[in-house]
Amino acid sequence: MIDPIILFFLLGAVAGLLRSELRLPAAVYEFVSIVLLLAIGLKGGVELAKQPFLSLLPHMLVVIAMGFVLTLVAFPVLRYLGRFKRADAASIAAHYGSVSVGTFAVVVAYLGSRQIAFEEHMPLLLVMLEVPAILVGIVLARGLSRETRWKSVAHEVFLGKGIVLLLGGLLIGWAAGPEGLKPIEPLFFDLFKGFLAVFLLEMGLITAKQLGSLRLYGPFLIGFGIVMPLFSALVGVGLGWAMGLSVGGTAILATLAASASYIAVPAAMRISVPEANPTLSLSAALGITFPFNVLLGIPIYYALAEWAHTFARG
Amino acid sequence: MHSHTRKLLTVITEAALEGTLVRDLDRLNAHGYTITDARGKGNRGVRDAGWEASGNIRVEVVCDAETATAIAAYLREHYYDDYAMILFMSDIAVLRPEKF
């Protein structure tokens, strides 16, 4: 049975393709994404309180390393196989090394509706994975040039909406604990899927808009938008298994690896690497990879995670 | 009522540039500015403000001709190549010249 939230995404995409009048007011989209980010943070924070922070450190370091490596793998492929300009290749690589919170929310809902358990500190790993790719992307585009204003880059990266809300939610959840959060649970946890449905409706509309520009950039970018996430998911499954994550946790890590950023990275790249064409990376991340992950990728990554765990047990 | 002529400098550009642009304006001696969200279409495609990365802003600065020229030259040199940006100036009448 197809998850209804996926149907909302399809509705948005079809409405967009048919050029319907439908559009979500920007303020509503903003509000919905704020609620989702906070909800993800809060949920993770509650669980963080239950385990010593130091025990999570190895996981965090592995995930940061993964962010570096995925970006470094994507860059030469784009540069030499795809023949993109250096700045464009670096910018697209950074998008694919980072994560999409929307995709994360969908995989969480996917596992939730199938009652599959996963490690609750995944939101922390989500935050960790957001940043490294941006730094690598800037260095790949620029070299370690003095011109890069690292202070404003750092401001853009660490004080962007995503990180502030996720980390803020984590801290609030951690400080308040499950009992303390009871009064606000109805908004953030009970309505989570409803908000996600509205969010995906808008994402469908946005995705449909990207498809037009994809036609301009040809088959390589489309292929990259599908093959790169599959490759990244394999890396994620391998690492998740090696880190001793559960099947659910491994599936989430694979999805995190496979997803491509469309909020934090575009904003940072626009400021730090302005000569990179933003349409290229956005149409790949939003036009191809996001719908691919939401519709097909997540079930595949879950199957991969399950397979890896069964295989390892013998 | 006696009025004075000043320049109204209007810049329409990507929302992503807002922070940087505001810093530039302060540095280039603009005494104030007004920013509104905007959408529209230009040679870099439709920018309909459906979400963060496709938003435009419209920045208006009232200042003397010298400052307006300086700002225009700076923006042209630094942003025209890589950003969706247009800029135009018009003469306007203000009542309190010392404010601008």
pLDDT at A143: 79
For residue A286, the chain B residue with the least C-alpha distance is B53
Evaluate if residue A148 carries a pLDDT over 80: no
Nearest Cβ partner of B53 from A205, A267, A275? A267
Place of tokens 């996981």: A59
The model's pLDDT over A42-81, given as tens digits with 9 standing for 90+, comes to: 988 988 888 887 888 999 999 999 999 999 999 999 999 9
Per-window interface: B 26-55 vs A, CB < 8 A: 37, 45, 48-53, 55
Chain-chain contact of A202 with B51 (C-beta, under 8 angstroms): yes
- Asked if A29's CB is within 8 angstroms of B45's CB, the reply is no
A275: chain B residues, CB-CB within 8 Å? 81-82
A146 — pLDDT class (breaks 50, 70, 90): low
Q: How far apart are CA A111 and CA A248, in angstroms?
A: 7
Mean pLDDT, residues B39-65 taken together: 78
φ and ψ at A259, to 5 degrees? -75, 155
Angstrom CA distances, A271 to A49, A114, A135, A277, stand at 36, 41, 13, 12
Tally of helices (H runs) and strands (E runs) in chain A:
16, 0
CA distance A218 to A170: 41
pLDDT at position B2 over 90: no
Residue A194 has pLDDT above 90, yes or no: yes
Distance CA A254, CA A236 (A): 4
pLDDT of residue B46: 63
Of A156, A270, A282, the CB nearest to B14: A270
The pLDDT tens digits of the residues spanning A286-296 come to 999 999 999 99
Q: Do A275 and B82 touch (CB under 8 A)?
A: yes
- Taking the CA of residue B44 and the nearest CA in chain A, the distance in Å comes to 9
CA angle in degrees (0–180, nearest 5) for B82-A214-B16: 35
- Distance between A11 CA and the closest CA of chain B, angstroms: 17
d(CA A103, CA A80) in angstroms, rounded, equals 29
Residue A146 or residue A104, greater confidence: A104
Please answer whether residues A169 and A38 qualify as being in contact, where contact means their C-beta atoms are separated by less than 8 angstroms.
yes
Contact criterion met (CB below 8 Å) for A287 and A210: yes
Segment holding B5, helix H or strand E: strand B4-14
Could you give the CA distance from residue A232 to residue A97 in angstroms, rounded to a whole number? 9
Pick from B48, B50, B53: which is nearest to A266 by CB? Answer: B53
pLDDT band at residue A270 using 50, 70 and 90 as cut-offs: confident
CB within 8 Å: A266 and B83: no
**Looking at residue A1, what is its pLDDT?**
63
Rounded Cα distance, A157 and A9, in Å: 28
CB spacing of B51 vs A282 below 8 angstroms: no
Buried b (16+ CB within 10 A) or exposed e, B38-60: ebeeeeeeebebbbbbbbbbbbe
Q: Which of residues 141-170 of A touch B (CB under 8 A)?
A: 152, 156
A215 CB near a chain B CB, below 8 Å?
A: no
Q: Provide the chain B residues 58-77 that lie in CB contact (below 8 A) with chain A.
A: none
Tokens matching residue A40: 């993800």
Query: Could you tell me which chain B residue has the CA closest to the CA of A275?
Result: B82
- Is A185 an 8 Å CB contact of chain B? no
Residue A245's nearest CA partner among A101, A105, A104, A116 is A116
Is residue B98 classed exposed, middle or buried when 0-12, 13-18 and 19+ CB atoms within 10 A define those classes?
exposed
Q: Is the CB of residue A261 less than 8 Å from the CB of residue A253?
A: no
Neighboring chain A residues of B82 at a CB cutoff of 8 Å: 274-275
Reference B81, options A276, A210, A269; nearest CA is A276
Q: Is A270 on the interface with B (CB under 8 A)?
A: yes
Residue A224 pLDDT more than 80? yes
A188 secondary structure, DSSP code: I
Instruction: Give the tokens for residue A237.
Output: 């499954």
Q: What is the DSSP letter of A286?
A: I
pTM: 0.88
pLDDT of residue B49: 52
Q: Which of A281, A257, A260 is nearest to A270 (CA)?
A: A281
Distance between CA atoms of A137 and B13, rounded to whole angstroms?
A: 24
- Does A279 touch chain B if contact means CB atoms closer than 8 Å? yes
Judged by CB atoms closer than 8 Å, whether chains meet at A213 and B50 is answered as no
When the pLDDT of each residue in chain B is averaged and rounded to a whole number, the result is 88
DSSP for B42-99, please give it. Answer: ETTEEE--SSGGG-EEEEEEEE-HHHHHHHHHHHHHHHTTTS-EEEEEEEEEES-GGG
Q: Least CB-CB distance to B83: which of A29, A156, A274?
A: A274
Burial of A301 (0-12, 13-18, 19+ CB in 10 A): buried
pLDDT tens-place string over residues B14-24: 988 898 899 99
| Chain segment A240-263, per-residue pLDDT in tens | 999 999 999 999 999 999 999 988
